Amino acid sequence: MMTRIPLKITTIALVAVLVAAPAFAAKKAAESGAAAGTVNGKPIPKNQIEFFMAAQKAQGRPDSPELRDAVREEIIRREVLVQEAQKQGLDKKPDVQTKMDMARQGVLINAYIEGYVKAHPISDDAVRKEYETVKSQLGDKEYSVRHILVDSEDDAKAIITKLKAGEKFDALATQSKDPGSKDKGGDLGWSVPTTYVKPFADALLKLNKGQYTEVPVKSEFGWHVIKLDDTRALKLPGFDEAKPQIQQRLQQQLVEKQVMELRTKAKVE
């Protein structure tokens, strides 16, 4: 049972379904007449090749005749397989049609979200403000913490009694029901108080170095006995280093807000 609760961002996934993209590319190519050859008489759309080339370049591969030949061969093989699947009537099967519909949905959702983010850029001022807010919330210290987590207040009181009698915290931690720390003497490592659930954090901030809580601490996970091993100055990344992550988080929040607004307006019966 983990007591540390990381910050969570709720957002709709940005789904990019590559298998659906060639179908759109093929339709566009057929309309424009652009083709890079045929497979059993069916055109190979040039923009399919460019689509796959762009994906390869995004992975760091330079444009070259060899790469284009490999991409063209991949598209030919895909088309051969698609034609064979259609010949067998697989595209008419309900489960296959459902998967194709879901793939199409994914492409459209991704296109909408990309367009929305592009039309609503996050300003540097907004990123800077969020950075300063996070800095103020985290404070200027981080804490090295141990804990023992048990099911009942009486169990926690019994552990505190043993600590007062001179028993070692590390040894008593084997009774903890937190599998992530019980075999490490209850060690939770270094972190800031906001990493923990509120009752845990509130109790931690009242401790001095080397102290443990003499009253059991109740949280949603059970009853804790908490010990503060040490503190040190918190070293945060600079603004420029943190900017991309903060910007992405603000974009995700913006998208989630838009999704919720659309959901609220939707007529669902």
Q: According to the model, what pLDDT value does residue 54 have?
A: 93
3-state helix, strand, coil in the chain (%, to 5): 60, 15, 30
Pair type for strands 38-39 and 42-43: antiparallel
Tokens linked to 127: 């990123």
The predicted pLDDT at position 70 comes to 92
Give the pLDDT confidence score for residue 36 in this predicted structure.
77
Q: Give the pLDDT confidence score for residue 45 in this predicted structure.
A: 87
Which mean pLDDT values do the consecutive 10-residue runs of the chain (269 residues) have? 32 33 42 70 89 92 92 93 96 96 96 96 96 91 97 97 96 96 96 94 96 97 98 93 95 96 94
Can you read off the two tokens belonging to residue 150?
A: 């048990």
**pLDDT value for 34:** 60
Cα–Cα separations (whole angstroms), residue 265 to 116, 142, 155, 258, 261: 17, 44, 51, 11, 6
How much is the pLDDT for 229? 97
pLDDT 10s digits, 145-165: 999 999 999 999 999 999 999
Task: Report the C-alpha gap between 38 and 17 in whole angstroms.
Answer: 24
Contacts of 100 (CB under 8 A, 6+ apart): 20, 91
Identity of the amino acid at 156: A
